[in-house]
Structure 1
């Protein structure tokens, strides 16, 4: 956990993710789908907030009202998938 925290801080991963989440909707065509996999709770919180903000602004339509997580069967076959969380949104038509 210490190494993970250092890596996140040194690489400015949360800031980079925030910029990515802010800029991506503007590059999407109407109806395009955006799927994001996160592996850390802080990452997932940023993704969730960005999708909610986009939905409130009318630029995104969130397709996954609840986060999708791996099944028990998937985790047994692929233990690293345990922390994965998937969220999906669609670019709303331009007004």
Structure 2
């Protein structure tokens, strides 16, 4: 299991945790809309660091983006495995071709 899969499993396990003892449980308890908002905030912070060119800060923000993406997916019961399967389906397909097929 890679780090992303492990993180997704941890997030899934925290769904039923006490929001007073788990940041993940606290986010999930606030609902999908709040999870999406946090994901958006982290994405903007990553964009800012990408523009600034600070590799260390971008790396940190990218980790936050991935975490909050997984929390947002969990809030809507979308499994990482489903996202990975979609990426595999697209493998070898150009972006232009993939968009035309939607």
Instruction: Give the TM-score, by structure 2 length.
Output: 0.27
- Considering fraction of residues, name the structure with more helix: 2
Q: Which has the larger radius of gyration?
A: 2
Instruction: Give the TM-score, by structure 1 length.
Output: 0.29
- Considering fraction of residues, name the structure with more strand: 1
